[in-house]
Structure 1
Amino acid sequence: MTRAQLTDDEWGFVEPYLPVGEYGPYPERLRQQFEGVIWKFRTGAQWREVPGRFGAWSTVHNRFRQWRDAGVFEALLEGVIAEAAGRGRVDMSLVSVDSTTVRAHHDAAGMRLEEDVLDALEKAAVEAETARQKGAARRNKTDRTASLTPAGPNGGASGDGAGSA
């Protein structure tokens, strides 16, 4: 048995997620084609290099595209997670959600601009940041003065305007 092949137990888990008969007339070849997809992504090879034992490379590729478009891999992943959770084998300490945004310099993406265009863009970015900071400061000042303004029509004095004695 090669590394690319699934055990019968593994195939028994995967098979229900594959749309048998929906794509193509040869459902008995689904395992072979699924293993071809596994082989392709495990090795990082090009589709044309998929060995013939998995079927024609174009058939394996087309099957992969059909499964991708039908959401088969997402359903399979959710099924694996649900199965692991059912067995108590999900380790939530390994889960990490990060919403950090990292901005790279425009040269990092291969973008090339004329010097005058670049200067204009950088100036506009500085102006936008300055305006944003002024707006935030203005909002903070307004919020602060609103909370410090005395309540009532007479600046917080008693309702009769005479003050308390």
Structure 2
Amino acid sequence: MARNLMSDDEWAFFEGFIRAVRHPNGRKPADHRLVLDGIFWVARTGAPWRDLPEEFGKWSSVYRQFRRWTLAGLWEDILDALNHAKLAPDKLQMIDSTVIRAHHHAAGAKGGLRKRLLAVREVGSRPGSISASTAQASR
């Protein structure tokens, strides 16, 4: 399942960036193509890291490499290169959820949900006759 998710042309594009951020430490290099496929699988599915299929390797190892590449600025470099190469259509936009903010009032307040439920109930139980609505209006 995990093999050959990324085409050879796609891997050729990403390989240069990955090798540029790799620090030589004397260890045998990991299968970065498989790790990258695992990262893309999590991004594509929205699944938690712990649900990463075993074919990609240990989820903790894939996450640790993702975190290293994030701290090294790999993703920004890749997006800049894609932007400058004009490989992605101009209409293709990406939303980064880290920049979406909500006002602190949007989190709700004491009794906020109860008040909204009461308001919905009141709107849903409008008077059934003219005389009832006239009586409420005269109050």
TM-score (norm 2): 0.60
Residue number in structure 1 paired with 2:80: 78
Deviation at 1:63, TM superposition (A): 0.3
Deviation at 1:94, TM superposition (A): 6.8
Q: Secondary structure at the match of 2:63?
A: helix
User: Are 1:13 and 2:4 counterparts?
Assistant: no
Residue correspondence of structure 1 range 12-161 to structure 2 within 5 A = 12-19=12-19, 21-22=22-23, 25-84=27-86, 91=90, 106=105, 108-112=106-110
RMSD over aligned Cα atoms: 3.2
CA distance in 2, matches of 1:37, 1:62: 11
Deviation at 1:33, TM superposition (A): 0.4
**Contact residue 2 and residue 34 of structure 2 kept, 8 A:** no
Which 5+ residue runs of structure 1 have no aligned equivalent?
Answer: 96-101, 114-165
Which 5+ residue runs of structure 2 have no aligned equivalent?
Answer: 94-100, 112-139
Residues 22-64 of structure 1: CA distance to partner in whole angstroms, max 9, x if unpaired? 2873424110101100001111111111111111110000000
**Contact residue 4 and residue 39 of structure 1 kept, 8 A:** no
Which is greater in Rg? 1
**Contact residue 37 and residue 64 of structure 1 kept, 8 A:** yes
CA distance in 2, matches of 1:59, 1:53: 12
Deviation at 1:77, TM superposition (A): 0.5
TM-score (norm 1): 0.51
> With CA pairs under 8 Å and 6+ residues apart, which has the higher RCO, 1 or 2?
2
CA distance in 1, matches of 2:61, 2:48: 14
